[in-house]
Amino acid sequence: MAVNKSYSAHHAQNVTDYPNNNTFFLVWKMRTSLALPEIKKKFQRICALVINLNNSALDRFPGAKASVVFGIGHDAWQSLDLPKPLPKELKNFEAIAGDKHVAVSTPADFHFHIRADEKSLAYDMANTISSFMNDFADCIVEVQGFRYWDSRSILGFVDGTENPHGADRDYFAIVSGEDPAYKGGSYLYVQKYVHDLTAWNALPIAEQEKVIGRSKDMDIEMSDEEKPANSHSALANVGDDFKVVRDNMPFGTVSSNEMGTYFICYASTFTTVEKMLRNMFIGNPAGNYDRILDFSTAKTGSLFFVPSLEMLDEFSG
């Protein structure tokens, strides 16, 4: 399939929406047992379904801030014969290994980011998508995220303070002139982190603040003089010119004490995300890794591309 260069507009999916109270994250891998023509038909139906769900939610529940964002992985893009050349930075994510911690790589074909303030609506959209996807793919990650107090992670610190706002969200999250054939698209990167809360909660609050680089109560950033060089805020933020739009959500089950953070970001260039990950896992300089990784383990890591609404509509047939 050749790139259609006749698009008169390049509208993004809902990649710059702010986090809401309830979220489903679904990651799928296509089955190889089905014939490719059949898979392509089912893929077309999924694209049409995503468009339908978004339009229906907007009409039926205009105040619910409900949306579905659909991302496609490198191998799926290739096998489904989607536009060529591919988005410039779409690839299979390669693991980033430091001396102690690893940003793992997990193969994946599709990602659905489902949001709604009303949990019932988020569930219904996730259930409808799954009923279609089960015909030709397997769900390899399902995470139900929730808003924890004033947008805090389960570690107790506010998450996403460095997120851009206003027009900057579009600038940092949405592809524009750097890849004209894919204007309106976005790179989507996700990781599922599981926290060692026993070890974390054993740290005095003052030590936790040094790990994060911010105050726990009021979310005030430490000065450069007092902030440790291996703090999360020192390494995960790679400069005012290199930002992404994060939509992280806590998740977990208290009985098993498996609590974590689903890290998700949208970016106009994936190189920004790689720079951040290298800082965190390898260190800057090497060996000076992000100390939060001593308490948070990355269990997954996958890259997708979120096509524009116009391109998604074309994919739907």
pLDDT tens-digit profile of 59-103? Answer: 999 999 999 999 999 999 999 999 999 999 999 999 999 999 999
* Mean pLDDT value across residues 165-190: 96
pLDDT at position 256: 87
Whether the predicted pLDDT of 307 surpasses 90: yes
pLDDT at position 9: 57
Whether the predicted pLDDT of 8 surpasses 80: no
Distance CA 151, CA 98 (A): 29
Query: 143 near 252, Cβ under 8 Å?
Result: no
**Complete DSSP assignment for 204-257:** -HHHHHHHHTB-TTT-PBPPTTTS-TTSHHHHH---TTS--EE--EEEEETTTT
pLDDT at position 302: 98
Q: Which residues, 6 or more positions from 24, have their beta carbon under 8 angstroms from its beta carbon?
A: 112, 113, 114, 122, 123, 125, 126, 142, 143, 144, 145
Whether the predicted pLDDT of 4 surpasses 80: no
Query: 281 near 101, Cβ under 8 Å?
Result: yes
pLDDT at position 142: 98
pLDDT at position 148: 96
* Mean pLDDT value across residues 161-181: 95
Beta bridge partners of 305: 72, 187
Containing 309, the helix (H) or strand (E) segment is helix 309-315
pLDDT in tens, 253-303: 988 889 999 999 999 999 999 999 999 999 999 999 999 999 999 999 999
pLDDT in tens, 205-259: 999 999 999 999 999 999 999 999 999 999 999 999 999 999 999 999 988 889 9
Q: Other C-beta atoms within 10 Å of 51: how many?
A: 18
Query: 228 near 291, Cβ under 8 Å?
Result: yes
pLDDT at position 309: 97
**Confidence band, pLDDT 50/70/90 cuts, at residue 5:** very low
pLDDT at position 109: 98
What does the mean pLDDT of the chain come to? Answer: 95
pLDDT at position 118: 93
Which residues are annotated as catalytic?
A: 159
